[in-house]
Homo-oligomer: A and B are copies of this chain.
Amino acid sequence: MRIDALQYANWSEKIFNQLREGGVDAIHVTIAYHENFRECVLNFEQWNRWFEQYPRLIRKGLWASDIDEAKASKRTAVFFGFQNNSPIEEDIGLVEVVHTLGARFMQLSYNNQSLLATGCYEENDPGITRMGRQVIREMNRVGLVIDMSHSADRSTIEAADLSQRPIAVTHANPHEWAPALRNKRDNVIRAVVENGGMFGFSLYPHHLKDKSACTLESFCGMVARTVEKYGIKHFGIGTDLCQDQPDSIVEWMRTGRWSKQIDYGEGSKSSPGFPDMPEWFRDNRDFGNIEAGLLATGMSQDEVAAVMGGNWYRFFAENFTPQEK
């Protein structure tokens, strides 16, 4: 089973076919960065159209059982998530509404301070806000997973502590392997793991050692060491694949409508666009390379299967349904 816990592609029939070529049974796709509720609903609508247009390639993903059904019918189950809390605006009632519509992950902040938590690019991190505490409880209740990929350290550790259910960092790598601002230090990874949560290894070049030049051996070695250190069951893949997107999209991701100035985020003035993917992971067709690379490190078949999808499957099964009373 292969599950990718983060993609934000410029979706097309070509990419849906590549998902099948790569044997990807489920993906978690981003449908909001800075969209408000109504704009985010337009993105749900767009996916409804794609499900109608490509019923032999993709299907809506709401529950883990939808992955089994997708696998059996040789399709990919598509689960939805937000990289920011903008879709719920200032209205806690929208947490259940977006879950009903199909959202399964929501980041509490995206780079900046939000109404709920602090983002990883802020200078100061005062931790989870008053509204943030309420929203964490509500997300736990309905089965909307807290994702802290772009949040600051203190906020992430507090979220893991406050949440009664496991949280996730869907896409990042250990900071000690590649010291990017978005990668996570030991205390953050530990907080996620101790809360029972999941961590998805990113293939986004800005999160890789040597960026686009990162080798498969280096990446897989890092995975092997990390699962050895923190425990196999807390790790999966979250490629952060942004395939076929024009550079205007990375500008939207970074700057939204919150600034009139360009913010280069993980890029720079000389390299403002999307970086090239490493040659061993061009797109969804190359999950087999990662699987082979992990086996080559000496990890067992079972361990590799857990990282390639088994762990996310279990996490989806346990965390998307409403909390038992």
Query: Do B38 and A97 touch across chains, with their CB atoms under 8 A apart?
Result: no
Q: Does A96 contact B (CB under 8 A)?
A: yes
Q: Does A48 contact B (CB under 8 A)?
A: yes
Complex Cα gap A44–B38 (Å): 15
Complex Cα gap A91–B49 (Å): 13
Which residues on B sit within 8 Å (CB–CB) of A91?
Answer: 45
Which residues on B sit within 8 Å (CB–CB) of A45?
Answer: 91, 93-94, 96-97
Query: Do A41 and B97 touch across chains, with their CB atoms under 8 A apart?
Result: yes
Q: Which of B44, B93, B94, B96 contacts A97 (CB 8 A)?
A: B44
Contacts known (A100-B100, A101-B100); A93 close to B48, Cβ less than 8 A: yes
Q: Does A132 contact B (CB under 8 A)?
A: no
Which residues on B sit within 8 Å (CB–CB) of A101?
Answer: 97, 100-101
Q: Does A174 contact B (CB under 8 A)?
A: no
Complex Cα gap A225–B307 (Å): 69
Residue of B nearest to A102 (CB): B100
Task: Please tell me how many copies of the chain the complex holds.
Answer: 2
A85-104 vs B, CB cutoff 8 Å, 1 = contact: the mask equals 00000010110110011100
Q: Which of B38, B46, B96 contacts A48 (CB 8 A)?
A: B96
Complex Cα gap A44–B42 (Å): 18
Main secondary structure of the interface of A (DSSP, over half): helix
Least CB distance, A313 to chain B, in whole angstroms: 24
Which residues on B sit within 8 Å (CB–CB) of A46?
Answer: 93
Q: Does A37 contact B (CB under 8 A)?
A: yes
Which residues on B sit within 8 Å (CB–CB) of A48?
Answer: 93, 96-97
Complex Cα gap A247–B91 (Å): 29
Which residues on B sit within 8 Å (CB–CB) of A100?
Answer: 100-102
Which residues on B sit within 8 Å (CB–CB) of A96?
Answer: 45, 48
A68-97 vs B, CB cutoff 8 Å, 1 = contact: the mask equals 000000000000000000000001011011
Complex Cα gap A87–B214 (Å): 50
Residue of B nearest to A325 (CB): B55
Query: Do B93 and A49 touch across chains, with their CB atoms under 8 A apart?
Result: yes
Least CB distance, A46 to chain B, in whole angstroms: 8
Q: Which of A46-64 contact B (CB under 8 A)?
A: 46, 48-49
Q: Which of B38, B42, B49, B102 contacts A38 (CB 8 A)?
A: B38
Chain A interface residues (CB < 8 Å from chain B): 37-38, 41-42, 44-46, 48-49, 91, 93-94, 96-97, 100-102
User: Which are the 9 A-B pairs with shortest beta-carbon distances?
Assistant: A45-B93, A48-B96, A100-B101, A41-B97, A38-B38, A44-B97, A45-B97, A48-B93, A100-B100
Given contact pairs A38-B38, A100-B102, enumerate 11 new A-B contacts (beta carbons under 8 Å): A37-B41, A41-B94, A41-B97, A44-B97, A45-B94, A46-B93, A48-B96, A48-B97, A49-B93, A100-B101, A101-B101
